[in-house]
Amino acid sequence: MQWFARRQSAPGGGARRVLAIGIDGVPYSFAMRQIAEGRMPNLARIFQAGTVRPLNSSWPFVSSVAWSSFMTGCNPGKHNIYGFVDRRLNTYDVFLPNSSTMKREPIWCELSKAGKEVVVMNVPVTYPPRQVNGLMVSCFLSPSLEKATYPKELAGRLQQMGYKIDADAAIARRNKDDFMKELHHVLERRAAVMFELMDSEPWDFFMSHIMETDRLHHFFWEYMENNDPYWAPQFYDFYEKVDTILGQVWERVDENTTLVILSDHGFCTVRKEVYLNTWLRENGWLSTEPAPGKPPSIASITPATRAYSMDPGRVFINLRGREPRGSVEPGADYERVRQQLSDELLELRDPDTGEKMVQRVYKREEIYHGENYQNAPDLVISPTTGYAFKGAMDREHLTYKGDVLIGEHTFDDALLYVSGHDIVKSTLTMEDVVPAVYNLMRVPQPDGLDGALVISA
């Protein structure tokens, strides 16, 4: 830890502490409705002491990308995290991007260099843990608790407190009652560790992330929306626990501390999962030759392929010189193929209802820019709300409606709250959060951030 500068100045001197809580996938509209219906009294109290606004997610709107944009203040073209899964350039190798894939420094590393003490818990894409001036507990990408902490010794302390990195989603596929219990258990342990570290460790910046809301939504959102007599009350009970925890957080916010609460995308009921690779295959865009006995996958793409898709609605042109068996020529050929595919995707319709499943198709240059632009997907689909685009290649049907995964992300309707300040920008992006944190902590922000300063003095 010797490379960190010594603390520049004691707390005070105009610099504030920042306490940030991530509540994964909690929609702005849902939080406001909870408050209006009197279900989250602590959150209501907290929101009255500051400003809360809707926040837009990232493209694509998955946790890995959105939280990377948050923590770096940059778009994916700079930070290089484009999905929960990705393929390595010049290969068809699929991998899970993590903190070593991230090419811009997260705010806690910058704050550490400025001599600030930080504690960071469970924020997505923080595995492997970075060396910080303080403590780090990594996210759901961690293979084990032993490998999830900086410093390493912290893992033992967490183990003793029964800390769990993530709820086990496999339980939900076996038994949703058991999964609800699991969610409560993981949230309780996370909160216990969070308050233990908050109260016992020195910090200028403390961030903890609640992932359980996202997990709850994926498996229970539709039940809540349909007011299911068995599950809806349990859904709200879970939020009562979240509200109690936020109340305990609020008790720890003194006049020298700014509380930031944010989520990373909205949520909606899944109308249908959409297996875009099925459509690409049936319409002559995609061809695979899997090894005998193996399902088709990206690794089995043939040169007859012009395009393939990965979660959620990212489309890659099979480009010569970039993809190993690429067939589309760069330049005019690429532009023509991409335009034709974009036009056809816009016309994709629900085979049962005829409804449009795609609202808009973005070209990479419309949403990404920066030094890692070459890794970007060529097209990104903005779906009609409720259509969940999937990257699996082994499905027979274009669409599917199941009863296990019944909640899905949305691009808009995430939320940002800042205590004691006005938020002065109307359309907020994930990249807009950390410039405010640097400003509050009186630490100069690094060059080249995409976000704007969105709070009043």
Binding site for Zn ion (CB under 5 A): 24-25, 63, 214, 264
CB of 216 to Zn ion, least distance (A): 12
Residue 218 token pair: 């994926």
CB closer to Zn ion, 323 vs 413: 413
Three-state DSSP at 254 gives coil
CB of 137 to Zn ion, least distance (A): 18
CB of 401 to Zn ion, least distance (A): 22
CA distances from 108 to 18, 32, 61, 203, 223 (A): 11, 30, 23, 11, 38
CB closer to Zn ion, 63 vs 112: 63
Sign of CA dihedral 438, 43, 224, 358: negative
CB closer to Zn ion, 266 vs 296: 266
CB closer to Zn ion, 116 vs 409: 409
CB of 453 to Zn ion, least distance (A): 24
CB of 410 to Zn ion, least distance (A): 11
CB of 432 to Zn ion, least distance (A): 17
Q: How far apart are CA 377 and CA 313, in angstroms?
A: 10
DSSP symbol at 356:
B
CB closer to Zn ion, 64 vs 234: 64
CB of 12 to Zn ion, least distance (A): 35
Q: How far apart are CA 360 and CA 366, in angstroms?
A: 12
Q: Please work out, in degrees rounded to the nearest 5, the angle formed at the alpha carbon of residue 270 by the alpha carbons of 190 and 395.
A: 105
Nearest residue to Zn ion by CB is 63
Q: How far apart are CA 7 and CA 12, in angstroms?
A: 12
Residue 397: half-sphere exposure toward Cβ, Cα within 13 Å: 10
CB closer to Zn ion, 22 vs 296: 22
- Strand 307-310: give its sheet, edge to edge: 307-310, 314-317, 379-383, 358-363
CB closer to Zn ion, 25 vs 312: 25
